Structure 1
């Protein structure tokens, strides 16, 4: 029973702690990191609120310290996905019928738990499990996931307020229902916040969810799941399973109650999902919602008016924070000939000053890439560039996986604007630079727009307002998130809703109302107060 209308005002973004030497948050996090490393944890799946252990254990290692074991997770199989679906569907009716203020309270409490006692644990598990430095962890696994939870409550409340007009003698209302069935959330390794947002945004709307995280993010995913349980999430609403992609797809995409997929990952996997769903469309109770944020080949183009210091810093941060393992990371740069040499010199100096090592040393800017597969792929690109006459390594280029998967931040300069590392997504600390004629800015814009199939993020750096306006217009479809005089990374919930188009996804903008609409099914209800009792209209009467 609804006994009132409740207010969920627009929240403020969660403040980012700085972890300066001598600060209490630094001391607390250091203590938690040591605590986490002292014990190996046993991580179950969570199905219907129960901890499920299969005995098929898979070890979890820090990417920067592969000789250390953080613990083991219990890998599942096809039957566990079926159990998760059954548990979700069992929980569906009571969850969908729960009052909005009670659902909202669960996620707001989870946000408060992360902001307070679990903040060092969310950051610590992300730092150790995904090799993020303290600042990258803080903005991701603390601030961004807190913001997603709080802002989504506000946004969904605003959607619920959207109601139709009513004419005399009737009342119209809009009912914002959850989807009919279950939602599959498939989440990547690189952002703990994405791992938290994809299942909870759908669940917040009254849906039940099967959540499959990347194996390399399970260490932090299980921490978030435990927080949701402590916050009061009912059993079966979100079910966390650890299975491979083909298994989850085989079961979920063949189930009649499959209602939608919330995905972040590779373009190839998303394309295969879409193909499979299309082939199975006759099996489903309703047309599934397909929401995905996929790959990127993100650009920075500098105009001849740009400040070389601004360009160099935007490239250094945009390309190499979290080892370039962001969907939005600067991967290709276009420098005008008049400032190219200055920018390259300054960039090389900045990269050479970056320290690389473990996350526990807070002076390290660079840590390890996520796993051996990623390491080997990136090393191959770098080794090929060393031998190619069209490419030159300006800085970096060394790779070592003896203790961890360490790849130096690497800048490649090419004379070919269609060189392979200007076109293909690498997902690592590799930036490729091409120098264009400073007087051919419009041609350079055409090059930026046509080189890559992706359209996720990009930026223009210039002090010339006409050049900014031109780039903004000409690159309208080249990036879903476009930055002026900044790096192409760092979207903040509520400030820069995130998502791209073309081969970068469905552009449903996580961190805004747009995304939440996809997990709702509207029903219009008209109530007539004085219904007619005769079919005859006035126009039928004789004069």
Structure 2
């Protein structure tokens, strides 16, 4: 029988278009398979290379625009910033880098409300369409916006070209591509066994409320991941980035909107972290925290959430997902390739001025190889230049802000006067123009020095030279040291029995453990990242494990047969 409905009505019934303009019911009858994720190839910026010229052009353009005015974004609509707050360039503290307007409590509340309003439509958008948005964003990151993102990261966060490349270009694109792959993996986890006449499946629902994402200054890509994982799974997100990268974070948000993300799904708010958190933690639909930053800050946020649970403030038990502090180690065995271990140690400790959560900050060296190690270290450090990010010869640059500079230099001043420490390298700094600290190494005369537990988040390494015969007892000390953190660690050795013994003995000392590789060696899709103990919840960024935390699985069962009677055979 021919339908009495107009043709246009039939089409609307079959293909509903939601308020975001994305089809929520599709007429395609084939299963959708996403493209296989891959790591974004790195560009190397050799002299006279096309990529160096493009980056120099982007840096020059951004320089001419300073200070940049970061717009206030409300539901995807940009409003001019009043510029009440500002950040300076770490490499040139007399130069204002960005100006922005802080959110008020009313702004934060409105952003949460708008996100929750967008939630129903977003969570009903097909995975195919959600995935397409983030895959499109990956292409925008790696092509159209690559050098703009890098320039923002270099001038705003003090990274050199290579550090900006592996962060703001490659890793950000990797997170978008691999998160889509991880999401597909999760959705494919369905029951493989059904009784006769029955069927069941798992509905991987998003969380019922909203996710609060708090990102750090040191990686542009981390902010992109903290918001993209939950959003990809159908959640809505309130995003509070660090003041240290407000402009780069704005660009990330802009890219997502250009890629087709509905404006209400991710709400970007800047300003006072405590003010934003107060509003979030007072909302009954606060469903999860996705956090990267200080362990002490996370403990406070964890405790506040627990108090809200105790008082029945929230509808759900908020999920706490975090990657926090580290006091990461390199362990050198007497069978190690010393030149190789030295090169890895310099990179792990001093790249980006030691401001990576995975950076090496304590090292243990065998007595029989110590003189060789220190000779090699001093020779290699003589070629390491500390300087402005725009100078391509700079291996490392400034620390992020005056607070970090004051904390690290105060520790250096104290260490320089400490007769329990021997200065191997550095111990000097200069804040007259930029926030520069020389690569610094101290050798502690005793294994119980407090520097083995103190996280400085800067270019400072403390070393212990141990008697070769005491290697086994040293493993126990390494496991107990490190300020209660357990993020990254590495063994350098060629004795295979020693390598396996060390892996076993230090099984809980690091969430990421490396053999003959620096502690900053994780690559998305190859090594997921995260630690336990005081270093976080170990949900592993760059894995399906992290994305699962932002789902609320529902199990469904359907029977096709009818019951013949109420009683069971055993009842007779």
- TM-score, normalization by structure 2: 0.93
Matched, 1:243 2:271: yes
* Rounded Cα–Cα distance in structure 2 between residues aligned with 1:151 and 1:130: 25
Q: String of CA shifts for 1:449-506, please: whole Å, max 9, x gaps.
A: 0112000000000010111011100000000000001111121001110000000000
In structure 1, the partner of 2:136 is: 109
* Rounded Cα–Cα distance in structure 1 between residues aligned with 2:98 and 2:185: 42
Structure 1: tracts of 5 or more residues without a match? none
Q: String of CA shifts for 1:335-367, please: whole Å, max 9, x gaps.
A: 000001111121122222211111111111011
In structure 2, the partner of 1:465 is: 496
The partner residue of 1:525 within 531, 556, 560 is 556
The partner residue of 1:149 within 169, 172, 176 is 176
CA contact (8 A) 1:96 1:207 kept: yes
Matched, 1:309 2:339: yes
In structure 1, the partner of 2:297 is: 269
In structure 2, the partner of 1:124 is: 151
Q: Secondary structure at the match of 1:269?
A: helix
The partner residue of 1:93 within 115, 120, 124 is 120
Q: String of CA shifts for 1:103-154, please: whole Å, max 9, x gaps.
A: 0010000000011111101111111110001001100111111111000101
CA contact (8 A) 2:70 2:81 kept: no
Matched, 1:187 2:206: no
The partner residue of 1:34 within 54, 60, 64 is 60
Map residues 1-400 of structure 1 onto 2, 5 A cutoff.
Answer: 1-2=25-26, 3=28, 4-40=30-66, 41-52=68-79, 55=82, 57-164=84-191, 165-281=193-309, 282-400=312-430
Q: String of CA shifts for 1:502-538, please: whole Å, max 9, x gaps.
A: 0000000000111111011100111111232642334
* Rounded Cα–Cα distance in structure 2 between residues aligned with 1:60 and 1:516: 32
Tell me the CA shift for residue 60 of structure 1: 2.6
Please say which of residues 332-341 and 413-422 is displaced more in the overlay: 413-422
In structure 1, the partner of 2:512 is: 481
CA contact (8 A) 1:122 1:142 kept: yes
CA contact (8 A) 1:396 1:408 kept: yes
Structure 2: tracts of 5 or more residues without a match? 1-24
Tell me the CA shift for residue 420 of structure 1: 2.3
Q: Secondary structure at the match of 1:207?
A: coil
* Rounded Cα–Cα distance in structure 1 between residues aligned with 2:490 and 2:102: 41
Tell me the CA shift for residue 204 of structure 1: 0.5
In structure 2, the partner of 1:450 is: 480
- TM-score, normalization by structure 1: 0.98
CA contact (8 A) 2:326 2:357 kept: yes
Q: Secondary structure at the match of 2:95?
A: coil
Q: Secondary structure at the match of 2:89?
A: coil
Please say which of residues 40-49 and 502-511 is displaced more in the overlay: 40-49
CA contact (8 A) 1:126 1:141 kept: yes
Q: String of CA shifts for 1:201-233, please: whole Å, max 9, x gaps.
A: 110100000000000011210111111111011
CA contact (8 A) 1:54 1:76 kept: no
Please say which of residues 91-100 and 35-44 is displaced more in the overlay: 35-44
CA contact (8 A) 1:185 1:262 kept: yes
Matched, 1:410 2:440: yes
Q: Secondary structure at the match of 1:163?
A: coil
In structure 1, the partner of 2:21 is: none
Ranges of 4+ aligned residues in structure 1 off by more than 4 Å: none
CA contact (8 A) 1:355 1:364 kept: yes
Aligned-residue RMSD, C-alpha: 1.2
Q: Secondary structure at the match of 1:339?
A: helix
In structure 1, the partner of 2:541 is: 510
Please say which of residues 464-473 and 59-68 is displaced more in the overlay: 59-68
* Rounded Cα–Cα distance in structure 2 between residues aligned with 1:130 and 1:143: 17
In structure 1, the partner of 2:16 is: none
* Rounded Cα–Cα distance in structure 2 between residues aligned with 1:421 and 1:45: 42
In structure 2, the partner of 1:537 is: 568
CA contact (8 A) 1:44 1:53 kept: yes
What count of residue pairs does the alignment treat as equivalent? Answer: 541
